[in-house]
Structure 1
Amino acid sequence: MNILRQLHTTNRSLIIGTTYKNKFSSSLKIIQNNTNYLRRFYSDNHTTNSNTTERKDRYKLIFQYRGNNYDGYQKQNNKGEPRGNTIQKHIEGSLHKLFNTNDIYIVGSSRTDSGVHALHNTCHFDVASEIIEKRENYTAKNVIFGLNFYLKDEDIVICSCEKKDMNFHARHRVKEREYQYRVLLTGPKPDLAYKVPFIQDQYWIVNGAKYEQGGPTKQEISLDFRSLETYFRIDDVREACQYFIGTHNFNNFCKSDLPERVSRIKTINSVTVEEIDLQQDQTISPLFFSTSKCKEIRFTIRGNSFLHNQVRIMVDALVKVGIGKMNPTYLRALVQNPNMRYPEKGSAPPHGLFLTNVVYYPDDVVLEPPSDFDFDE
């Protein structure tokens, strides 16, 4: 709890010092930032620190969701402000109904943005042992069935429930997170607003027409209306993928308004890209009657943790390499020089991104205490 004492001491000294210097307004802003930091800290550790005298059981959940209709995973944004329609809110609400108590909070392994999907996300929650013991022959399978009943109107499904030791922590014991990003190459008709209604909310569709680059500039990139399925430079993309691997300062590949106290140093274990031919003999495929042949480009990125928007910004750069708007050596320079100017910086749309796996250290591995209490995205 030393970090809490330090923050409270900082707040107290700021109030005294700035009042004396008559700079109270600037002090309030700093205090508010620290208060939001504390709020996120308490939220992350609520299940461990609340009612410590009461005997509790800890459970780990694996769950999936389709992110299009949600305001992201976590109930609070980076400023500690409440969000509305979130994954965390719905899972906690279902737990409250299932166990008839409001004193249950979940701690997630990975916070995803609005529109991002998850095929494998995890969390843990604590529930009073007395509640479980009063329910005869109550098992983890009952938890799965009960939660899915209350989530039946949501695009969220609980896949697994496992009772864990109280030392297990859904976020702090993560060894590796895996994300996949899916790009659908189509084209090349610029006069046709190409749509694939059944899957367009699961891919970033890039065709022969101009497309809008993400990021603050909203710059439109005009292509030569050629078939990207034919001309996408996959070998250049594979070369560029290798430059991300290792431990680097990813200042050029994260959200620009990230707080300074958050370290930009991250380790990427692997970045791969594969071509997937979707034009198979499947008459019920959404792409079967497509006027042009389509191909999926799938990126898989693995690392312990990621900065806010890091994966989507990395994918945006790799797609630029693929369409010839950036060369691999320029991308390498951006990785090696974190303060290098990057005017072309953009972010791939959220709906093409999937959290696909969360890997944990074995239970018997002793880990160092976490150095900070911020969620990575």
Structure 2
Amino acid sequence: MTSGEEIRFRLDIHYDGSGFYGWQIQPERRTVQGVLQDAVERVARVSRTVTGSGRTDRGVHATGQVASVELPAKWTSETLARALNAVLPEDVWIQAARRTHPGFHPRFDAVARSYEYRVGTEAEARSPFHRRYCWPVDDALDRGLLDRAAALIPGRRSFRAFAKSGQPERGTRCRVDRAVWEAWSGPGLRFTITADRYLHHMVRYLVGTMVDVARRRRAPTEIDGLLNDSDTDLWTSPPAPPQGLFLTRVEYGPVAGEGDAVGSRRTERAPES
């Protein structure tokens, strides 16, 4: 290796989104990307862009964000993870670092992403140790209706109705491979979804609408009508609040993102997924 050679690293990242204005760097705002780039500059003495797999919104958390950064070849995966965690704030943690191939792109190489949304259905959900990481709902929810609503989601469908804004250049159709409600270790339920792509606020609109189905405020069949993109008289419910949403996994093909993964020994953890 020459002294000027650089290596692309993949970073697997956890963060508590409560104190951030989302992932993407913004002037005069605290963002995850900004904090990471500051940390890279502190430890490597070079200014670099940290590229993420996706832009989480303000208040949204991650236990499976993936990013990349190019640094001088003198860095190893282990020393990079350790050095970054030594200077990062407590609400960001590098779970693993690895060297990867030069063409790896965290966003464009991804084949699927998984999100989890937590709904608090018990009184304990309003505890300060839970409410920052779930949506406490006071009304009784019919679990059977939640399951019926979620079963309508998988497949390649138009999610135009479940988006704050469209992405005209890519259309509104997404392929959802999995959409289920299940128990989580906290006081409530979690909705997990895996898809090839997402529209803006899509998961939050889906959850908000399904919760209204479970409250018996609307029929499960309305989910299907909204996904058919044909009934213009139907509207989604308001989106669920951001604090219950977690990016939990980004999937890549057999080559993209491969490398010598090294986990961090730091003990502080982001909220459990």
Q: Note if 1:270 corresponds to 2:178.
A: yes
| AA of the residue aligned to 2:147 | R
| AA of the residue aligned to 1:301 | I
Q: Give 1:157's aligned residue.
A: 93
| AA of the residue aligned to 2:210 | L
Q: Give 1:332's aligned residue.
A: 224
What's the TM-score once normalised by structure 1's chain length? 0.63
Gaps of 5+ in 1: 1-53, 77-81, 133-137, 188-193, 209-227, 279-294, 366-377
Q: Give 1:357's aligned residue.
A: 249
Q: Give 1:62's aligned residue.
A: 12
Give the superposed CA RMSD: 2.0
Q: Deviations over 1:61-112 (max 9, x none)?
A: 0010000110000115xxxxx461100000011111111112x111111210
Q: Give 2:39's aligned residue.
A: 94
Q: Give 2:67's aligned residue.
A: 123
SS of the residue corresponding to residue 96 of structure 1 reads: helix
Q: Note if 1:167 corresponds to 2:106.
A: no
| Distance change in 2, residues 1:200/1:64 (3 Å) | same
Residue 139 of structure 1 deviates from its aligned partner by 2.1
**CA distance in 2 between partners of 1:127 and 1:276 (Å):** 39
- For CA contacts below 8 A with separation 6 or more, give which structure has more relative contact order: 2
Residue 313 of structure 1 deviates from its aligned partner by 0.4
| Distance change in 2, residues 1:321/1:63 (3 Å) | same
Residue 172 of structure 1 deviates from its aligned partner by 1.3
**CA distance in 1 between partners of 2:235 and 2:144 (Å):** 25
Residue 337 of structure 1 deviates from its aligned partner by 2.1
Equivalent pair of 1:71/1:83 in contact (CA under 8 Å): no
Equivalent pair of 1:58/1:125 in contact (CA under 8 Å): yes
Equivalent pair of 2:222/2:234 in contact (CA under 8 Å): no
Q: How does 1:42-61 map to 2 (within 5 A)?
A: 55-61=5-11
| AA of the residue aligned to 1:242 | A
**CA distance in 2 between partners of 1:276 and 1:127 (Å):** 39
Q: Give 1:207's aligned residue.
A: 138
| Distance change in 2, residues 1:270/1:199 (3 Å) | same
Equivalent pair of 1:65/1:119 in contact (CA under 8 Å): yes
Residue 203 of structure 1 deviates from its aligned partner by 0.8
Equivalent pair of 1:251/1:338 in contact (CA under 8 Å): no
Larger Rg: 1
**CA distance in 1 between partners of 2:170 and 2:231 (Å):** 16
**CA distance in 2 between partners of 1:68 and 1:301 (Å):** 22
What's the TM-score once normalised by structure 2's chain length? 0.86
| AA of the residue aligned to 1:155 | D
| Distance change in 2, residues 1:316/1:274 (3 Å) | same
SS of the residue corresponding to residue 201 of structure 1 reads: helix
Q: By percentage of residues, which structure has more helix?
A: 1
Alignment size in residue pairs: 253
Q: By percentage of residues, which structure has more strand?
A: 2
Identity in percent: 27
